[in-house]
Amino acid sequence: MNRQSYTMPDTVKGNTFVGVEFNLQNNGTAIDITGATIELIAKIWDQEGADAVISLDTTDGITITDATEGKFEVDEQVIDVEARCYEYDIKVTFPDSTVRSYIYGNWTIIQNYA
């Protein structure tokens, strides 16, 4: 499976993110993620490098909804980080220790002026 780009829905700082479901497939066939761990790391980049700001995984913030069909979701949750555009990557670690990064993209957090 090639890495796929996905832009997360814009989220207002301090508001509840609506959640997003993903379905991992390779040539139309579901990728079995039974026993896998999934991690999303969103980073900001500056002159010194990158700082991880949002870190979610299958113990907090990501739920595998149908492992044999390759389905998982980034859960609905309050996102309260600095307002800016983040670059994120989602990686899957399989039970045999194989690691694959299937999804990457941008996630814009918008300042809440209320």
Would you list the domain boundaries of the chain? 4-110
Amino acid residing at 44: I
User: What value does the mean pLDDT of the chain take?
Assistant: 91
According to the 3-state scheme, what is the secondary structure of 36-56?
Answer: CEEEEEEEEEECCEEEEEEEE
Q: Is 5 in contact with 102 (CB distance < 8 Å)? A: no
Its pTM stands at: 0.88
Average pLDDT of span 5-12: 95
pLDDT of 78-101, one tens digit each? 999 989 899 999 999 999 999 999
Q: What pLDDT shows up at residue 2?
A: 75
The correct answer on CATH 1.10.287 for the domain covering 4-110 is: no
**Res 113: pLDDT:** 82
